[in-house]
Copies of this chain bind each other. A is one copy, B any other.
Amino acid sequence: MSNASKTPSTMETISKERENCPFDLWRMTCAMHGGEEWAKLKGTMMIEIERDPSFRLDDIHDLSKDQIRERTMMKFANMIHYVTTERLDIFTKRMELIGIADPSFWTRFGVHYGLFLGAIRSGATSNQFSYWMEKGVLGMNGLVGCFGMTELNHGSNVAGLETTSTFDEKTDEFVIHTPSLSATKWWIGGAAQTATHCSVFARLIVKGKDYGTKTFIVPLRDPRNFALLPGVNIGDIGKKMGRDGIDNGYIQFTYVRIPRAYMLMKHTQVTRDGQVYEPPLAQLTYGALLQGRTAMVADGANVSKKALTIAVRYGAVRRQFKTGDNELETQLLDYPIHQRRLMPLLAQAIAMGFTALRMTKMFEKLTEELESFDSSSDTEQTERVLETLKETHASSAGLKAFSTWQCLDTIDKCRQTLGGHGYSAYAGLASMYADQAVQCTWEGDNTILSLQAGRSLISAYQDAQKGKKVSTGVAYLDDKSVLTNKCPSDTKCVDLNTMNSAWATISANVVKKAAEVYDTKLKSGVNKDVAMEGCSHERFCAAKIHTMGYLYRQFLDALETLESEEPSGSTTVSTLRTICQLYGAFQIEENAAYFLKYGFYTAKQMDIISEKINQLCAEVRTYAVSLVDSFYYSDHIINSPFGRYDGNVYAAYFNAVRAANPLPPVHPYFDRLIKPLLTRKPLEMEDAASMSIDEEIEEIQQERLSGEGEVDQGDGSLSLTEDQKLETEGTAEWEKKR
């Protein structure tokens, strides 16, 4: 018997969830955003975005690729206003928010300001920089950039790029050329429809000598009418998994000439008479990579929080089945399994969020140091900065990889908790997944980044073995007893400090394991490269465990900082402590094999941990709705009826579906397809009997026997089988090889 009438409305249900919240919502919100200033700013920016008509989001699931691209372009004018007038740290926060509202625009905008302008900033001489600034690059006055790195056959391997830039001494020009199909610049964001210039990565060839890959600014289109310039062939890359708002294209250069000064010459210089000066140091481009990775960790946290806001709010108001003798159907969030599905992900997103805040600060500090840094002077300072940079670079590689993977995983898990409704485009999770997926590939493929992180862990291990001091991120390698530490007692399994030791112990063990396998391979006689490849599985595991432990420590450290800032007895801190505990315990359970293998926990203790996770999930569930409120997203940014603040999910969903799908006045294909199907009569072939073919055959044969004409001696059958196998692409090809 249905209880619809007795059931409280979804709005009443979600209101009830917000009663008795054990923490102060605004203080929690501020903590999640790194301080009240930023939280308030986010509120302001959300209003600005919501009222900007170009940021309309309610119709995006039904726009075609071409419509979404046009919508992207509409956003530029307003955003240029902010980028040219706002303080950099504030604008960075704005972009972070916009990345959540519209990942495609974030990308398109980032291609000009982050990649194209970034290439100029890091690669141009002072005069060159002024030149491009005067050309209008900062305000896009007459100039929109794209970034021409990847080619059809080469992505991550920049050293293998094939496009050439040959110096022509006679005319003082470079000749940019695509020597083959495989060298076609590919995936170039903005190239298809919206860029006038491209920062092209090409091999510098001077007097027949190949100096490797450098950067050249190449004009693509006439800004007055967008006609392609001579020798430039551009095509559209078309549909992608997601982010269709960005117009990726391909570019083929056919002997395109640019002035010599259009090569960015801060590092490598080419003189009028073809002399090439190469730079002494190259490491400093690390900085740009770091910024991208920090942004992606933050984005991973933010996108996870958005997905979880939808899943938790819906889980609170959706009822399904009755449990025991309850009158009402049970709220999904009240099912222990539903808590198990969502609460650990909630804790993980929060851990990622605090880590991103700390990384951003660290990155800002490092940038300051780099800017005040004079490579010609103090070698001790040089070494220190480079050391920090190296370590940060390695840790950030792992963080980028695992944050983007975890985010992708979170989105799909959230989608699945919505049941069938998660499959609706209007739920918003499908497009989030599709948009997010590329984060695992670009700015360094996650697997390759993990291996890099693993490589640097091995090198840190070797340093520690030699007695060299290692950097803070891998301090556990300095501790001799760490390898054999054990959990002190069953009652202390999930203490925050015990778990911290636990991560240190297994991190040290997996790094040691990777280094040992590397050594074994080396001793077997292969070269270093091959030995590194030979221990890649172990490197990968080391990077994974190290990164998980690193995230946990970041969360712990953030708690410590917060504790020093908040009043004593702060409910913000005590709540986050519980969440940190859940996060640590959950990741230990997820990676239980390592903790058992290296003996930090016993089998019995693993059971205690699992049971504790059940309890923590139930506890966090009681304030989960308030917790996602503290993520502080407007309904506009959430853009999903299931994630509405007011819980009015079904009416909003119904209205969204109806508004997006008006019934057409005439059925689009009834007359053409359905009517003929419904009213068809079987083709009558049974009346073939009326031909009496067998009797006729007999007559013909008798005539032939009695007559004198030539008679075909073949077997006369139609070679139907051969006929069926007529060559068609694909199957037939396959058949041939058989």
Neighbour of A729 across the interface among B26, B425, B636, CB < 8 A: B636
List 13 extra interface pairs beyond A144-B677, A635-B733, CB under 8 A.
A2-B161, A66-B668, A73-B677, A77-B680, A139-B682, A193-B667, A226-B675, A240-B425, A324-B526, A337-B537, A412-B437, A423-B438, A593-B596
**A629-683 interface with B by 8 A CB criterion:** 629, 632, 634-638, 645-646, 650-651, 653-654, 657-658, 660-661, 663, 667-670, 672-680, 682
Q: In the assembled complex, how far is the CB of residue A566 from the closest CB belonging to chain B, in whole angstroms?
A: 19
Q: Is the CB of A677 within 8 A of B76?
A: yes
Q: A235 in the interface, Cβ–Cβ < 8 Å?
A: yes
Q: Is the CB of B423 within 8 A of A184?
A: no
Q: A430 in the interface, Cβ–Cβ < 8 Å?
A: yes
Q: Can you report 7 residue pairs joining A to B where beta carbons are below 8 Å apart?
A: A47-B731, A66-B668, A74-B673, A323-B530, A419-B441, A422-B441, A637-B730
Q: A329 in the interface, Cβ–Cβ < 8 Å?
A: yes
Known: A182-B650, A437-B423, A634-B734. A143 touches B239 (CB 8 A): no
**A66-100 interface with B by 8 A CB criterion:** 66, 69-70, 73-74, 76-77, 80
**A88-144 interface with B by 8 A CB criterion:** 139-144
Name the B residues within 8 Å of A183 (CB-CB).
4
Name the B residues within 8 Å of A256 (CB-CB).
none
Q: A550 in the interface, Cβ–Cβ < 8 Å?
A: no
Q: Is the CB of A155 within 8 A of B636?
A: no
Known: A47-B731, A336-B537, A596-B597. A157 touches B324 (CB 8 A): no
Compute how far the CA of A2 lies from the CA of B50 in the bound complex, rounded to whole angstroms: 50
Name the B residues within 8 Å of A16 (CB-CB).
none
Q: In the assembled complex, how far is the CB of residue A151 from the closest CB belonging to chain B, in whole angstroms?
A: 10
Q: Is the CB of B533 within 8 A of A731?
A: no
**A12-45 interface with B by 8 A CB criterion:** 18, 25-26, 43-44
Q: In the assembled complex, how far is the CB of residue A596 from the closest CB belonging to chain B, in whole angstroms?
A: 4
Of A2, A203, A412, chain B has the most CB atoms within 10 Å of the CB of A2
Known: A597-B596, A725-B47. A162 touches B441 (CB 8 A): no
* Interface 0/1 of A723-736, CB less than 8 Å to B: 01100111111110
Q: Is the CB of B598 within 8 A of A603?
A: yes
Name the B residues within 8 Å of A667 (CB-CB).
193, 226
Q: Is the CB of B237 within 8 A of A424?
A: yes
Q: A180 in the interface, Cβ–Cβ < 8 Å?
A: yes
Chain A residues bordering chain B, tally (CB within 8 A): 164
Compute how far the CA of A592 lies from the CA of B46 in the bound complex, rounded to whole angstroms: 46
Q: Is the CB of B325 within 8 A of A527?
A: yes
From A444-452, A468-476, A690-698, the one touching the partner chain is A444-452
Q: A606 in the interface, Cβ–Cβ < 8 Å?
A: yes
Q: Is the CB of B606 within 8 A of A194?
A: no
Q: Is the CB of B337 within 8 A of A142?
A: no
Closest to A193 in B: B667
Q: Is the CB of A140 within 8 A of B724?
A: no
Q: A406 in the interface, Cβ–Cβ < 8 Å?
A: no
Name the B residues within 8 Å of A179 (CB-CB).
4
Q: In the assembled complex, how far is the CB of residue A393 from the closest CB belonging to chain B, in whole angstroms?
A: 19
Known: A412-B437, A437-B423, A596-B593. A730 touches B236 (CB 8 A): no
Of A179, A419, A670, chain B has the most CB atoms within 10 Å of the CB of A419
Q: Is the CB of B182 within 8 A of A335?
A: no
Q: Is the CB of A184 within 8 A of B66?
A: no
Name the B residues within 8 Å of A415 (CB-CB).
241, 437
Compute how far the CA of A634 lies from the CA of B735 in the bound complex, rounded to whole angstroms: 9
Known: A4-B162, A437-B423, A737-B645. A636 touches B731 (CB 8 A): yes
* Interface 0/1 of A407-450, CB less than 8 Å to B: 01000100110011011111001100110011011100111000
Compute how far the CA of A423 lies from the CA of B189 in the bound complex, rounded to whole angstroms: 13
Name the B residues within 8 Å of A650 (CB-CB).
152-153, 181-182
* Interface 0/1 of A331-353, CB less than 8 Å to B: 00001110011000000000000
**A34-66 interface with B by 8 A CB criterion:** 43-44, 46-47, 50-51, 61-62, 64, 66
Compute how far the CA of A261 lies from the CA of B50 in the bound complex, rounded to whole angstroms: 55
Q: Is the CB of A536 within 8 A of B77?
A: no
Neighbour of A635 across the interface among B66, B420, B613, B734, CB < 8 A: B734
* Interface 0/1 of A241-257, CB less than 8 Å to B: 11000000010000000
Q: A610 in the interface, Cβ–Cβ < 8 Å?
A: yes
Q: Is the CB of B324 within 8 A of A529?
A: yes
Q: Is the CB of B603 within 8 A of A735?
A: no
Q: A358 in the interface, Cβ–Cβ < 8 Å?
A: no
Name the B residues within 8 Å of A161 (CB-CB).
2
Q: Is the CB of A250 within 8 A of B70?
A: no
Name the B residues within 8 Å of A725 (CB-CB).
47
Q: A383 in the interface, Cβ–Cβ < 8 Å?
A: no
**A572-610 interface with B by 8 A CB criterion:** 592-593, 596-599, 603, 606, 610
Compute how far the CA of A588 lies from the CA of B80 in the bound complex, rounded to whole angstroms: 54
Compute how far the CA of A529 lies from the CA of B321 in the bound complex, rounded to whole angstroms: 11
| Minimum-distance CB pairs A-B, first 3 | A635-B730, A241-B430, A239-B425
Q: A170 in the interface, Cβ–Cβ < 8 Å?
A: no
Q: Is the CB of B47 within 8 A of A226?
A: no
Q: A187 in the interface, Cβ–Cβ < 8 Å?
A: yes
Compute how far the CA of A51 lies from the CA of B733 in the bound complex, rounded to whole angstroms: 15
Closest to A239 in B: B425
Q: In the assembled complex, how far is the CB of residue A411 from the closest CB belonging to chain B, in whole angstroms?
A: 11
Q: Is the CB of B337 within 8 A of A2?
A: no
Name the B residues within 8 Å of A203 (CB-CB).
2
Q: A210 in the interface, Cβ–Cβ < 8 Å?
A: yes
Name the B residues within 8 Å of A598 (CB-CB).
603
